[in-house]
Amino acid sequence: MGVLAAAIGLPLALALVIALGGARAVRVTQVLALAGPIGALIAGVELVGRVRHGATVSLMGGGQSAGSATGVLFGFTGDALGALMLVVVGVVAACVVAFSWGYMAHETGRPRYFAVLMLFVAAMSILVLADNLVTLFVGWELVGACSYLLIGFWYRKPAATSAAIKAFMTTRVGDVAMLAGMALLWSRAQTLDFNGIFASVPTLPAGAVTASALLLFVGAAGKSAQFPLHIWLPDAMEGPTPISALIHAATMVAAGVFLVARTWPLFAASGAARTTMLGVGVLTAAYAAVVALAQTDMKKMLAYSTISQLGFMFAALGAGAWGAAMFHLTTHAAFKALLFLAAGSVIHGAATQDIRGMGGLARSMPVTAACWTAGALALSGWWPFAGFFSKDAVVAAVGEVSPFASAVLLATSAVTALYIWRATASAFFGEPRGEKHAHESGSTMTAPLVLLAAGALVLGWAGRPLLELVGAQEAHASAAMIASAVVAVAAGTAAAFAWSSRDAGRNEAFAAGRTWELLRSGLGVDGAIQAIAVRPVLAVARWVESTGDRRIIDWAAEGLGRAATAIGGALAALQTGETDVYASFVAVGFVVLSAIVLWAGGR
């Protein structure tokens, strides 16, 4: 119960304290908020010490009966996979809380911000410690609700509210599929407990296993922004930048990858589901990297980068290397949180997030520039930074299943280096192009950057012990594959600096072309989905509202009311108060009833 109290109870209690404390106490309660993610981190470290390789510990719940046909119980368990996720969530959320002290210092609504942030940590802890799909789904939906509230934090801004609604509704598509998969598993296995499901997999029909795995994958694809359900994530940049770091690194988008890893025996039994994941992952990785190349908004570029890196993780899952996927999830959490928080520091210090309005920031923001560069080195895959090891593990694992898919991922790595170093060169080198003189952020914002930069540097060396901890096999990259990866990254980096060194007018003319605009819009995928799915549904809804609701239901309800009023008025007219009229009614009634009785008796 100590683990549950630290990981779930403490953040929930802090959310309540912060909300009740209000604006007057926020200077104190925002500092107390740091205890929430630290509690999750301590719980994760404690679990690592309590579980052996492949072992689990019972935390709370119904054991074998949890999620069984006799009843659905709220239960938790602790294993190495959950411990790893708690550590990731705790570290990233702690950095986000500390960074927010400076970034959100002048914002109204800070109690709401930090309270929902604590609820976010508690929801993710529920998700990763659940011992059955029902408990996991509770955390899953709470994570979605917190994302909605934080993306739309600036609710007076129409773009923010639209982005929050879009994120909520798009991920609901995946959630419906996930519920259908849970229902199918319940009907076939008579349990939603993870151990019960895994024990039943060998006895289930192959079609049921594949269908349930694919339905769970759709749910994961919605949360983890896989093509074509990725459209909500770029718009989610309307929320505060620290929240973008949390969503992209450790909570919302990580939940889908974790779901597949948690239910891996189900996916291991379905080749069709794994092949689907591989194809979707590779497509998403390549597509999002190309789109990121055309972005001029620093945060939106990082958003498409996240989508691409999640594609790498799902490609690894599709290749059967769930350990490599979790390894890349862990390193990605460090360097992507670093890049987003560094972007927040740039926005805070330079008052813009348009890369075209930056330039020369390394001189005025040296700490931010150094930390961003560390994140760029890790993301692009330069040795000895974390991305080099985890991305190569993914590419090597995919290469064992599909050389073509591996080649696509290598090409995507080159594009990744191209867009991140193009942004780096444009923002931090050269001459200043912004109207405002940039300044370095305060220590509360730069300290988390330094911590995450250290993680981006050293986490790659933890790959082997991490895989041993979670009980996954290590994918060994060949010398030829490593050489190819190095060449791809070097080529992308060199192309980025060559591009940035060109005449600015030529670059602007090129960026104004139709092809570039099409890329910037995501190749029109969002617009196509709006035209194919959203607008027809809205048209049907408007028709139902105008015709079915107003003209039929309202008419029927109001018509019944009018008829009752008319009948009541007619009957009221008969109430004259005259005795002879009432006597006449009685006589007529007697005659009518007598006639009916005689007629019925004659039959």
DSSP element (H, E) containing 304: helix 298-318
pLDDT in tens, 526-582: 888 888 877 887 777 777 766 666 667 777 777 778 888 888 777 777 777 777 777
Q: b/e string for 273-297 if b means 16 or more Cβ within 10 A?
A: bbebbbbbbbbbbbbbbbbbbbbbb
% of the chain beyond a pLDDT of 70? 92
Q: Is 310 within a domain?
A: no
Q: 321 by DSSP, 3-state: which?
A: coil
156 and 246 assigned to the same domain:
yes
pLDDT of residue 145: 94
Q: Is 566 within a domain?
A: no
Q: Is 283 within a domain?
A: no
pLDDT in tens, 271-287: 999 999 999 999 999 99
489 and 529 assigned to the same domain:
no
pLDDT of residue 61: 58
- CB-based contact 196:271 (threshold 8 Å): no
Q: b/e string for 219-236 if b means 16 or more Cβ within 10 A?
A: bbbbbbbbbbbbbbbbbb
pLDDT in tens, 306-355: 999 999 999 999 999 999 999 999 999 999 999 999 999 999 888 888 89
107 and 252 assigned to the same domain:
yes
The C-alpha atoms of residue 177 and residue 174 are separated, in whole angstroms, by 5
220 and 342 assigned to the same domain:
no
Of 269, 296, 328, which closes a domain? 269
- If you ran DSSP here, which 8-state letter would residue 557 be given? H
403 and 511 assigned to the same domain:
yes
Q: Is 256 within a domain?
A: yes
45 and 136 assigned to the same domain:
yes
For residues 231 and 503, which has the higher predicted lDDT (pLDDT)? 231
pLDDT in tens, 65-123: 444 444 556 789 888 999 999 999 999 999 999 999 999 988 889 999 999 999 999 99
For residues 431 and 450, which has the higher predicted lDDT (pLDDT)? 450
Of 208, 240, 269, which closes a domain? 269
For residues 373 and 580, which has the higher predicted lDDT (pLDDT)? 373
- CB-based contact 342:405 (threshold 8 Å): no
Closest CA to 325 of 466, 485, 156, 119: 466
pLDDT of residue 404: 95
360 and 424 assigned to the same domain:
yes
469 and 554 assigned to the same domain:
no
pLDDT of residue 200: 93
Q: Give Cβ neighbours of residue 526 (< 8 Å, ≥ 6 apart).
A: 231
Rounded to 10 degrees, the C-alpha dihedral 563/566/571/573 comes to: 180
Q: Is 311 within a domain?
A: no
Please state the domain count of the chain. 4
For residues 225 and 53, which has the higher predicted lDDT (pLDDT)? 225
Number of H helices and E strands in the chain, helices first, is: 30, 2
Q: With 80 as the cut, is the pLDDT of residue 476 above it? A: no
Q: Is 496 within a domain?
A: yes
Q: For residue 63, what pLDDT band results from cuts at 50, 70 and 90? A: very low
- Give yes or no for a cis peptide into 384 (omega within 30° of 0): yes
* Mean pLDDT of all residues in 467-480: 82
C-beta neighbour count of 434 within 10 angstroms: 18
pLDDT of residue 74: 77
117 and 235 assigned to the same domain:
yes
CA angle 20, 26, 31 (to 5 degrees): 110
- CB-based contact 386:460 (threshold 8 Å): yes
The C-alpha atoms of residue 474 and residue 396 are separated, in whole angstroms, by 10
Of 235, 269, 303, which closes a domain? 269
Q: With 70 as the cut, is the pLDDT of residue 64 above it? A: no
* Mean pLDDT of all residues in 27-52: 90
The C-alpha atoms of residue 384 and residue 475 are separated, in whole angstroms, by 18
Q: Which of 345-349, 381-385, 441-445, 558-562 has the lowest mean pLDDT?
A: 558-562
The CB-side HSE value for 166 (13 A sphere, CA atoms) comes to 23
Q: With 60 as the cut, is the pLDDT of residue 510 above it? A: no
Which domain, by its residues, includes 16? 1-269
265 and 353 assigned to the same domain:
no
User: What's the mean per-residue pLDDT of the chain?
Assistant: 88
64 and 103 assigned to the same domain:
yes
344 and 264 assigned to the same domain:
no
* Mean pLDDT of all residues in 238-265: 92
* Mean pLDDT of all residues in 188-198: 92
The C-alpha atoms of residue 165 and residue 109 are separated, in whole angstroms, by 20
